[in-house]
Amino acid sequence: MTNKLKSRKKTENSAKENDSNGSNSGTIYNTETSLDNNVSLSTNEGGEKKNLKAIDHCDISGKVSQKNGVEILTKKKSLQVEEALQGSLSDDDDQSPSAFFNKDVKPPAFHFEIDAAALTMLVIAICTRMWRLEDPKSIVFDELHYGKFASMYMRRTFFFDSHPPLGKQLVALAGYLTGFDGNAQFDRIGGDYSEHVPVRALRAVPAFFGSLLIPTVYYLIIELGFTSRTAMLAGVLIIFENAYLTQSRFILMESMLIWFSAFGLLAYLKFRKISRSFSTQWWTWLITCSVSLTCAICVKYSGIFSALLVVSLLISDYWKMISDKSLSIVQLLAHLFVRFIAVFVIPICIYLLVFYIHLNVLTKAGPHDNIMTSGFQASLEGGLASITKGQPLEIAHGSQITLRHTHGRACWLHSHPHVYPLRYPDKRGSSHQQQVSCYSFKDVNNWWIVKRPNVPDLVVSDPIDKIKHGDVIQIIHGMTSRPLNSHDVAAPMSPQNQEVSCYIDYNISFPAQDLWKVEVLNRETEGDVWHTIHSHVRFIHTTSGQALKVCTLFAFI
């Protein structure tokens, strides 16, 4: 420290001598003064730079005068040696624990700022969307569907929609908090709401999200680099945009979808501007972006387009990071891992959570049960389990069953007295046998009887003759008593496959080929015995060795 102090004084004396001879030598001195306690002095002489640093209290005043066309900088300064000794002239003293604890530690400061423009626009948006929200007191457009879904949530009745249920859950939550019991009829557009339907509360949810969009867009425009006036103009335009204002005042999903998408983009822009990776703000905005865009998808699947935009930007950012030589391999892998969590792990968890809530709330059978599997229907209160209660759990000779398609569209093996035409429009011939199809609704013609080929009657024997994996059976149509059959005739809708029909004996040399081998596909969990509801079976035609499948009509492959 003593050597540095002597060097410091020597440098100052040299500066004074040069200052007094400045008019003759033509040397220029530049003094840089910072606004905090630390003041750095740099001296330029003959192309050489020397840095001087004075700590804490420094009284520096400068006066610039000009003589013979040469600038002379005169300065007056007073340095207290004792304070300089306590400063950072010694690197060893700076790194000592005592020097650290002697510093004044400032408590964390919290700043709360209010943007008057954003707040004003938010208040105006709330007023325009909440004012007389209960009018009209009748069902408008898709309120027919979303109001019905909210009432089914209240009654805990299972339903299924083409979009994820988050938006409908938020509307139902508002109804639950206001005491809505779900006993309301949403039968037609234009129909009046009953008195006990909290129309204002149900419509307040999309109105609230519609109001939040205005300040979100305001900050989004600012983050894009535009001025606050431009952002205010964008906010005002959205406030009074007639179509969006109308959508925000009814029980519709669009206002929620748009806000989650816009807020996700805003969070991404905030995340992108943070230079310090893995800081608290960095994590906060990244997770907020992921959660918000996932919620947009959980309201409507069309929200995936906003998510894809942000994912492409994240990929682009990471691609640029790869060329940054200041980042190590470990840092690049850490960034890749974090982005993987944000793009895949968090969205999947939120998506599954939304459906977990949906399925745990809706525990009673409803009108949409038939599109679900038989096992799922049996798990609902008042569903298939109540119908099959007390019935045998195993399929046996003489059992009356319905066969539902497991994968793809929900339909049941079906037949009726109609026969295939002798010739199809493409001039192909048919067997003129009884038609077999896959029918999407429950019907009496969906019933079939399981029969052993060597047993003449259809009566259930005692003891029960259970059907197992690998057994050969006949499947008899319950209403027409004709067996399920196939033969080497092209199917009507897929000529490359064999036709499936119910055999009609026309007294010609056209023998029946109505034997089927049972294959239990999930016998590892259900066992070899064919069980009702839970067993997945496949039927193999013994003559041709082909399996039954669903095309437009039944056929073989």
Q: For position 42, what pLDDT does the model report?
A: 40
Q: For position 510, what pLDDT does the model report?
A: 78
State pLDDT tens for residues 187-237.
899 999 988 899 999 999 999 999 999 999 999 999 999 999 999 999 999
CA dihedral (490, 495, 498, 499) positive or negative: negative
Q: For position 108, what pLDDT does the model report?
A: 59
3-state class (DSSP) for residue 473: strand
Q: For position 407, what pLDDT does the model report?
A: 78
Mean pLDDT of the chain: 82
Q: Is the pLDDT of residue 521 over 50?
A: yes
Letter string b/e over residues 105-142, b meaning 16 or more CB atoms within 10 A of that residue's CB: eeeeeeeeeeeeebeebbebbbebbbeebeeeeebbee
3-state class (DSSP) for residue 194: coil
Q: For position 60, what pLDDT does the model report?
A: 38
Pairwise CA distance, residues 183 & 172, whole Å: 13
Pairwise CA distance, residues 474 & 240, whole Å: 69
Q: Indicate the pLDDT class of residue 109, thresholds 50, 70 and 90.
A: low
Which residues lie across from 548 on neighbouring strands?
556
Pairwise CA distance, residues 435 & 440, whole Å: 16
Work out the average pLDDT over 446-454: 95
pTM of the complete model: 0.72
State pLDDT tens for residues 165-174.
999 999 999 9
Q: For position 554, what pLDDT does the model report?
A: 45
Report which residue type is found at 121.
M
Assign 3-state DSSP to the chain and report helix, strand, coil percentages, each to 5: 45, 20, 40
Q: For position 98, what pLDDT does the model report?
A: 42
Residue 446 is given by DSSP the state G
- The kind and range of the H/E element at 138 are none
46-60, 103-117, 291-305, 462-476: least confidently modelled range? 46-60
Map tokens 């109609």 to a residue: 418
Residue 71's Cβ-count burial label (10 Å; 0-12, 13-18, 19+) is middle
8-12, 205-209, 271-275: least confidently modelled range? 8-12
Q: How far is CA 270 from CA 187, 214, 267, 552, in A?
A: 46, 17, 5, 52
Q: For position 13, what pLDDT does the model report?
A: 52
Contact by Cβ (8 Å): 38, 28: no
Q: Which DSSP string corresponds to 200-269?
A: HHHHHHHHHHHHHHHHHHHHHHHHTT--HHHHHHHHHHHHT-HHHHHHHTSS-SHHHHHHHHHHHHHHHH
State pLDDT tens for residues 68-101.
443 433 344 444 444 444 444 344 444 443 443 4
Residues in the chain: 557
Residue 401 is given by DSSP the state E
Q: Which DSSP string corresponds to 90-135?
A: -HHHHTSHHHHHHSPPPPP-------HHHHHHHHHHHHHHHTTTT-
Work out the average pLDDT over 413-438: 91
Q: How far is CA 10 from CA 18, 23, 116, 424, in A?
A: 12, 22, 56, 111
Pairwise CA distance, residues 464 & 482, whole Å: 23
Q: Is the pLDDT of residue 154 over 90?
A: yes
Q: For position 462, what pLDDT does the model report?
A: 81
Which residues have CB under 8 Å from 56's CB, separation 6+?
A: 37, 83, 86, 87
Residue 323 is given by DSSP the state T
Q: For position 157, what pLDDT does the model report?
A: 95
State pLDDT tens for residues 275-297.
899 999 999 999 999 999 999 99
Work out the average pLDDT over 475-502: 91
Pairwise CA distance, residues 373 & 369, whole Å: 8
Pairwise CA distance, residues 324 & 320, whole Å: 7
Domains and CATH numbers, the chain: 116-360 (no CATH), 392-541 (2.80.10.50)
Q: Phi then psi for 359, rounded to 5 degrees?
A: -75, -25
Rg (alpha carbons) of the chain, rounded to whole number: 40
